[in-house]
Amino acid sequence: MTSEPIRFSDGAGYDRFMGVWSRLAGQDFLDWIGPSQGQRWLDVGCGNGAFTQLIAEQCEPLRLVGIDPSEAQLAYARQQPLLQSVDFVNADAMALPFPDDAFDLAVMPLVIFFVPEPAQGVAEMARVVAPGGTVAAYAWDLEGGGFPYQSVNETLGAVGRAVPMPPSAGASRLDGLRDLWTSAGLGDIHTRVITVERTYTDFDDLWATVLGGPSAGQALAVMGEADVTRFRELLRDRLQPAGSGSITLAGRAHAIRGTRDPRGGARRSRSSPGSAR
């Protein structure tokens, strides 16, 4: 089976599909980081602004910048009332368009597995964070089955359909994240596992959510009507064997945080072209 790269072109559909999950895991992540008020934030791969909004609401940032390569996602974020003071920039995670030491925190929410060269992305975050600043990320445990829609992807596989996968799934492992942070010259590194659940009203609620997503929805869009019907029936049998009622899915994410040496000793990055997600 082959699949095309995941495309992020529908901010509203993505918010229903993944934005809710991002905020659920993101709240635990933000509490764990324990940031101070009035700091300079960079949200790398901000997408439609789901996690950016948590920062804006809770951290009273002195400055908040979000970058993403998808202009469609950024357009959605710019329309959100609580994000009007955020500077959204169309940019690449592997070549951040900011000077050294420009931020106090750089975060990468649910993005690192989309970065073709994760080490370059982490090194860039370390570069733009000031000495003593924080570089942090959280990512679904893709290889360990922690993606919230793992059951959807497995059911697609059962009908012989490929699900678009990110290029750097291995970067979501805890050991992989630790290696990346260490290689970027970051210290005081800590990791943790975040588990969250989300309940859908019924199967129709889940189905509408999946259709609007950039991964399974993308695969379904090129399937014939008979194949979609078969997939839908298999998925319903798997997730709702009783035939009705609510459906609860679970997700598991790996989180990491590290500190740039207060003496300014983080490794410098040499920017290269590429696409963040």
Q: What are the mean pLDDT values of the chain's consecutive 10-residue runs (277 residues total)?
A: 46 77 94 96 95 96 97 93 97 97 97 96 98 97 94 90 84 97 97 97 93 77 88 94 90 98 62 40
Q: What is the pLDDT of residue 128?
A: 98
Q: What is the pLDDT of residue 244?
A: 84
Q: Cα separation of 129 and 203, whole Å?
A: 44
Predicted pLDDT of residue 264: 64
Amino acid sitting at position 212: G
| 3-state helix/strand/coil string of the chain | CCCCCCCCCCHHHHHHHHHHHHHHHHHHHHHHHCCCCCCEEEEECCCCCHHHHHHHHHCCCCEEEEEECCHHHHHHHHCCHHHCCCEEEECECCECCCCCCCEEEEEEECCHHHCCCHHHHHHHHHHHEEEEEEEEEEEECCCCCCCCCHHHHHHHHHCCCCCCCCCCHHHHCHHHHHHHHHHCCCEEEEEEEEEEEEEECCHHHHHHHHHCCCCHHHHHCCCCHHHHHHHHHHHHHHHCCCCCCCEEEEEEEEEEEEECCCCCCCCCCCCCCCCCC
Domain segments of the chain as ranges: 11-148+165-197+250-259
Q: What is the pLDDT, as a whole number, of residue 3? A: 42
Query: What's the chain's length in residues?
Result: 277
What's the CATH fold of domain 11-148+165-197+250-259?
Answer: Rossmann fold (3.40.50)
Determine the Cα–Cα distance for residues 124 and 92; give it in Å rounded to an integer: 10
